[in-house]
Amino acid sequence: NSPIKSESAGAPHLRNSSSRWLHSMSSSDDWLEQSSKEVKPVVPRMPSAVLAISGASGARYGVRLLEQLCTAGWEVHLVVTSAGAINLDLECGITPEELAATNGALLEDNDNLAAKAASGSAKFDAYVICPASGTTMGKLANGISDNLVTRAGMVALKERRKLVVVPRETPYATVQLENMTRLSSWGVVVLPANPGFYNKPETIDDLVDFVVARILDQLDVEHELGQRWTGEEIHAAESANPDFTP
């Protein structure tokens, strides 16, 4: 038998192995090409917040905050308590439905404990109660979640998410101070609606904007409300008035 013939006899086996390898590589290339076609670009998620307006006076703060969040491109789920709706009408001449529609927010029923805001699996970047009544804060401080506002607040607490409460009551009862202290110790931002005057406010809107600006700062929302303290104000006052005493 010729050695050449023997090598020739083994050739089909080599050719088959080579063919299978080439087919495998081709299949891999096809899979990679198909996978690359199926990959979709990741769309950035719009920041979202639950904004609750409860029964304390100061509905105007909540209205202005909603305007600013929606203008900044946030998705806002608005919840208004029955007492909050009364104050919206009394102080701003607007209904919860009109407020939501005007700003493109989603109005949630405060009695609906099956709403998106009631679940910890529904991700929101922030929860704000503005204004926050003493009753609402008292419920949160004692683990009571009997409506959507308090349930959403409890979700923020249990999920360790940003929760800002904006009380406007004055003076405070001792029990209210204790409730706020308890909430603060749990990581809640207690931000009373106390406007400053160093920026020389001229209108009620200026006073409202001062407080809303502080809330937006807590949410890392860029804004142009009011003037920030620069540290040069006292020097400017001294230069303008030599008799000025800080």
At 63-115, the pLDDT tens digits run: 999 999 999 999 999 999 999 999 999 999 999 999 999 999 999 999 999 99
Q: Could you say which DSSP state residue 118 is in? A: G
pLDDT at position 4: 46
Q: CA 157 to CA 148: how far, in whole Å?
A: 14
pLDDT band at 181 (very low <50, low <70, confident <90, very high): very high
Q: CA 222 to CA 217: how far, in whole Å?
A: 7
pLDDT at position 175: 97
pTM given for the model:
0.79
Q: Is the pLDDT of residue 2 over 70?
A: no
Please tell me whether residue 127 adopts helix, strand or coil conformation.
strand
